[in-house]
Amino acid sequence: MPQAGPGVSPVEGVTYVGIDTLQEQTRLKALRRGYTFNLLVVGRSGLGKSTFVNTLFKATVARRKSGEEEPLPSTTEVKTVSSSLSEGGVRLNLTITDTPGFGDHINNENCLSSLDVEVLQRLDKIVNVVPVVAKADTLTLEERAAFKERIRADLSDHAIKVYPLQEYEDLDDAPENMKIRERLPFAVVGSTTWHEIHGKKLLGRRSNWGLVEVENKSHNDFAYMRDMLIRTHMQDLIGSTAERHYENFRRARLSTKTTSKVNIVNGQDTDHMEDLNESKI
């Protein structure tokens, strides 16, 4: 029996077109190019953003031997760290941008939460927003639940859209996404210190009453969040950013610039890139 291929018909009288190779073509292209995933961390100063970025990198990239905790300088500029990871022949360029706390240089006494709202209302139009509560180890379980509830109410009152969005999801993804939405905002613990427990190296924060393990799902939501970002929803995050957010942003940008110059190079709105680089959001 002749093998299916260009010009060879697997079924008598039907010309083989080759649509079934699309999946393989996509896979090969992705393998060659690799994937690019960009993460921007925003929030006020002292919240734990830099620690969080380093934790995510350590939990994802560097499973190093236990070491001393390096003091983290407070972030005074937008800092981007990138790493090229490879697993099972798939390449991932992971880029995480850490930002100085927003609102640090303006007088925002008594109005920080409204600044959060203001920032999020702008961000949810151009990126997928994943809300996170930092330093979850400083809250009791009751406080954590109450805080999550308050944030969910705030997000809903101000019509801030967070990922994963119900309106765009496939029916197949709905049960999984519902579980994620019920958990939001992720209450996470960050640490860059490895501890050796029963011969296993664990990231965590030690206290008098024990070790809070970063990647232990019964201690905090870090692993749930990491799994969503990397293991289950990365492709959707990348795709929806390109297909929806970037397109929406570009359209809005073009319509406000109809009378002025718009820089588009190779299909990319270079003004937009500048905005992102300078983090003017």
- Binding residues vs ligand GDP (CB under 6 A): 45-51, 72, 74-75, 101, 134-135, 137-138, 189-190, 205
Q: Name the residue with tokens 């749930």.
A: 224
Please state, in angstroms and rounded to a whole number, the distance separating the CA atoms of residues 115 and 103: 7
Please state, in angstroms and rounded to a whole number, the distance separating the CA atoms of residues 273 and 156: 30
Identify residues 106-165 at the interface with Mg ion (CB under 5 A). none
Residue pair 249/125 in contact (Cβ under 8 Å)? The answer is: yes
Q: Which is nearer to ligand GDP, 52 or 163 (CB)?
A: 52
Write down the least CB distance from residue 198 to ligand GDP, Å. 23
Q: For residue 90, report the phi and psi dihedrals to the nearest 5 degrees.
A: -105, 130
User: What is the end-to-end Cα distance of the chain in Å, rounded?
Assistant: 61
The binder of 189, among Mg ion, ligand GDP, none, by C-beta within 5 to 8 A per type, is: ligand GDP
Please state, in angstroms and rounded to a whole number, the distance separating the CA atoms of residues 56 and 33: 23
Write down the least CB distance from residue 189 to ligand GDP, Å. 4
The binder of 18, among Mg ion, ligand GDP, none, by C-beta within 5 to 8 A per type, is: none
The binder of 131, among Mg ion, ligand GDP, none, by C-beta within 5 to 8 A per type, is: none
* Other CB atoms within 10 A of residue 50 CB: 21
The binder of 93, among Mg ion, ligand GDP, none, by C-beta within 5 to 8 A per type, is: none
Please state, in angstroms and rounded to a whole number, the distance separating the CA atoms of residues 193 and 31: 33
216 is an interface residue for Mg ion by CB under 5 A: no
Q: Which is nearer to Mg ion, 50 or 191 (CB)?
A: 50
Q: Which is nearer to ligand GDP, 104 or 247 (CB)?
A: 104
**Token digits for 154?**
């705030």
Residue pair 47/101 in contact (Cβ under 8 Å)? The answer is: yes
Residue pair 187/148 in contact (Cβ under 8 Å)? The answer is: yes
Write down the least CB distance from residue 134 to ligand GDP, Å. 6
75 is an interface residue for Mg ion by CB under 5 A: yes
Q: Which residue is nearest to ligand GDP (CB)?
A: 48
Write down the least CB distance from residue 72 to Mg ion, Å. 7
Nearest to 59 by CA among 183, 199, 231: 231
Residue pair 77/100 in contact (Cβ under 8 Å)? The answer is: yes
Write down the least CB distance from residue 37 to ligand GDP, Å. 21
Write down the least CB distance from residue 49 to ligand GDP, Å. 3
Q: Which is nearer to Mg ion, 39 or 155 (CB)?
A: 39
**Token digits for 204?**
């965590």
Beta bridge partners of 210: 207
Per-residue x/- mask for Mg ion, residues 40 to 59, rule CB under 5 A?
---------xx---------
Contact footprint for Mg ion (CB under 5 A)? 49-50, 75
